[in-house]
Amino acid sequence: MKTILQARGLWKKFEETEILKGIDVTVKTGEFVAIMGRSGSGKSTLLYNISGMDRATKGEISFDGEDISNLDDEKMSNIRLKKMGFIFQQSHLLKTLSIRDNIVLPGFKAKSESREKVNAYAEELMKRTGIDRIANHDIKKVSGGQLQRAAICRALINHPDIIFGDEPTGALNSGASKEIMDIINEVNAEGTTVMLVTHDAKVAARADRVIFLSDGSISDEIILGKYEEKSFSERENKMTEWLGKQGF
């Protein structure tokens, strides 16, 4: 399987505090990797640095065969726009735009396809995620789960190679969380690579592989294989047992 993302010797330092300490990570195309760890372990910092949203203090990062470690801001922004999708705990949708307009905006900015194609794909994504009926709604008038569905549509609008998520279900109830993760698993099953940070064992149990961070370093990982709903309870039990060994 081809490697899509790789970090070697990744360090991140804030003033005198070392947040990441020489991390090595390899992610294969089509893989779903979850990152777990206690608060302050460096989970989000790793995600932001490996995706180019932040700059590592030291180390090499390769994405799709290209060294992105020292790209200028314009080139890195272009890669994030066209090849990466992002889903955060809060949707970060623009309050002045409708659900539909928030989704199509990155597609219009990328200029990789005509506006007609972008609009058509947005309609397809909204139908798939069940938010086509609220496409014209103001974002302040919909639920948190609907906002996260819109955020997923926005992340997918440019057909990214990889989706990054930082606690994408952290602000949702259990029902909405399951619905969002069902969509993410579907996207992954179709070939899109997924890498996300979570504190939730139920979310992590859906990943192919889970990395555990401790004090800025990878202390352990567990391989679960491709997700199947029928084996969820078994996977969750395995995760809970493994996390117990990590003192989590």
Angle between the N-to-C axes of helices 144-156 and 99-110, in degrees from 0 to 180, rounded to the nearest 10: 20
Report the C-alpha gap between 5 and 2 in whole angstroms: 9
Supply the pLDDT for residue 105.
97
3-state class (DSSP) for residue 6: strand
3-state class (DSSP) for residue 245: helix
Does pLDDT of 231 surpass 90? yes
- Please name the residues in contact with 234: beta carbons below 8 A apart, sequence gap of 6 or more: none
Of the candidates 177, 176, 170, 248, the residue with the CA atom closest to the CA atom of residue 213:
248
144-164 pLDDT tens trace: 999 999 999 999 999 999 999
Q: Is the model's pTM score more than 0.85?
A: yes
Per the listing, tokens 């199509």 go with 104
Supply the pLDDT for residue 94.
93
Supply the pLDDT for residue 142.
93
* Over residues 53-61, mean pLDDT: 95
71-110 pLDDT tens trace: 999 999 999 999 999 999 888 899 999 999 999 999 999 9
Helix (H) or strand (E) holding 36: strand 32-37
Supply the pLDDT for residue 125.
96
Structure tokens at 78: 């272009």
128-146 pLDDT tens trace: 999 999 999 999 899 999 9
Supply the pLDDT for residue 179.
94
Report the C-alpha gap between 26 and 6 in whole angstroms: 4
CA atoms within 13 A on the CB side of 180: 30
Supply the pLDDT for residue 91.
85
> What domains are defined for the chain?
3-245 (3.40.50.300)
Supply the pLDDT for residue 31.
98
